[in-house]
Amino acid sequence: MSTPLTREQKITHLLNRISFGPTREEAARVDRLGFRAYLDEQLEPDRIADPYVEEKLAGLKTMRLSSRELIELYPLPRQAQQQAKQQQAQQQMSMLPMEMQGPRQVILELQLARLLRSIYSRRQLYEIVVDFWSNHFNIFAGKGADRWLTTAYDRDTIRPHALGRFGTLLRATAESPAMLFYLDNWLSTGPDSPASRVAAANNRRRGLNENYARELMELHTLGVDGGYTQKDVHEVARCFTGWTIREPQKQGEFTFNPRMHDEGEKIVLGTRIPATGVDEGLKVLDLLARHPSTAKFIATKLARRLVSDDPPVAIVSKAAATFRETDGDIRAVLRTIIDSPEFFSEESYRAKVKKPVEYVASALRATGAETKVPHQLVRYLARMGEPLFLAQPPTGFPDRGASWISPDMLLTRMNFASDLVGNRLDGSRVRPELLSDSDAFVRLIAPDSLAPATRAALGETEGKDAIALLMAAPEFQRR
């Protein structure tokens, strides 16, 4: 028979699941408001003032620019050199140093923004969900035009819809130039379309690309066992021909090109899709968003993120039912999962291994560390296996703990913890007074549940060494 969690354990558990880790201030707030009121507050992030993190983000210029502006202002190195010569000829101000030029800077600022929000935002559940959807609808920011298009993808596609309806989010990703480029749908052309005939006349090949159609069903909606066939993949790909990008290396805007579209009738999952141009893709998205397999697939993945690698069937069933009953209301599904009795069970307590970003952010949050320019933190994340926005496969980063606990990864985490408490991270600092009370740190991260082996090891250390040891221990590695 399982032992109920204590109130302190429940507070730590809740903050480990709906935030990037407990802080003394947030633990006190949960205790004061109560679990339900705190969750209600987090589910309405627009009502939470967040001036501190906004101040932190103010210096990241690229986060406010359009895709067109990013393409113009942060060109590839060869283009940058040409622009520098033109500027010098016109006796204008010289460009930034080369290491601060080009799309590398765009991607770096995206990474910095994600990390700063994870550490400092008061809208913690929102940031957890944004991280989840970014991984669910993964794109690789290092591919071609996506080096400039990913900023708008994060800002204008994922973030505005992260707590809305799944169907709305799904459509936003389908129309995103970043997704169209990443999965090559912007090149997909009906074999008998006018565009294909012109290409053939000029000895160029243009044809159907099934990459997006396959990932749309396998990874974004139905799941690999969701009941679709290869024929459905082919038909969905036909529906999305003509969904393309207007000048991806100059403007980077979504457009529908009827000259690329396959104008024939399609059959998707047994449903007839008449030849209606761009509306065919919209009908497919609606069909997939409302499919029972999608409800189960999304419910399972959200429960895996919030509960355990193999979430209880009861939670998944309830969450999937809520998804169907509310037409994919993400807030309602989250509430169903967190309100379930299984969420606060002993089996779920510390059942998840922290991903690198969760580990790094939780360490800075728990120690009250201040970081101004966290470049070294971004490099540590890459060494731990999670270079933000740079997962190459459509599956994104793994969502199971076994992927994050290799000896090399654990050693890197231990080195990070030592560097953090030793104030050896450039631009980051932990106040010494926060490192002197290891008992308070234990109460925050593992109330009433420190393992005997960890407690014995602590008996031989003190001060910052004790904090570093605790951050390397299983109690902190897990959430």
Rounded CA separation 121/369 (Å): 14
Rounded CA separation 306/128 (Å): 10
Q: Which pLDDT value is given to residue 89? A: 40
pTM of the model: 0.93
Rounded CA separation 3/209 (Å): 54
H helix and E strand count, the chain: 25, 6
Q: Which pLDDT value is given to residue 84? A: 44
Count CB-CB contacts under 10 A for residue 366.
21
Question: CB of 110 within 8 A of CB of 141?
Answer: yes
Amino acid residing at 417: A
Rounded CA separation 69/58 (Å): 18
Strand 370-371 with 428-429, pairing: antiparallel
And the tokens for 398? 């793994």
Q: Which pLDDT value is given to residue 162? A: 98
Rounded CA separation 11/443 (Å): 11
The structure tokens 């560390």 sit at: 369
Rounded CA separation 278/257 (Å): 9
Question: CB of 292 within 8 A of CB of 301?
Answer: no
Q: Which pLDDT value is given to residue 200? A: 75
SS3 260: helix
The structure tokens 């966290």 sit at: 374
What is the DSSP code (8-state) at residue 291? -
Domain residue spans of the chain: 165-290, 292-344, 353-477
Residue 267 parent element (H or E)? strand 266-268
And the tokens for 453? 């082996």
Q: Which pLDDT value is given to residue 96? A: 36
Residue 351 parent element (H or E)? none
Q: Which pLDDT value is given to residue 269? A: 98
SS3 218: helix
Q: Which pLDDT value is given to residue 12? A: 97
SS3 203: coil
Rounded CA separation 359/413 (Å): 8
Concatenated DSSP letters of 185-213? GGG---TTSHHHHHHHHTT-------HHH
Question: CB of 381 within 8 A of CB of 358?
Answer: no
- pLDDT averaged over consecutive 10-residue blocks of the chain (479 residues)? 88 98 97 97 98 95 96 82 47 37 92 97 98 98 97 98 98 98 97 87 81 98 97 98 92 95 97 97 98 98 97 97 98 98 94 97 95 88 97 96 92 95 92 83 89 86 88 93
The structure tokens 């990874």 sit at: 219
CA dihedral 247, 248, 251, 255 (to 10 degrees): 70
Q: Which pLDDT value is given to residue 251? A: 85
| Rounded-to-5 percentages of helix, strand, coil across the chain | 60, 5, 35
Rounded CA separation 330/349 (Å): 24
Concatenated DSSP letters of 298-318? HHHHHHHHHT-SS--HHHHHH
**Residues near 79 by beta carbon (within 8 Å), at least 6 away in sequence:** none
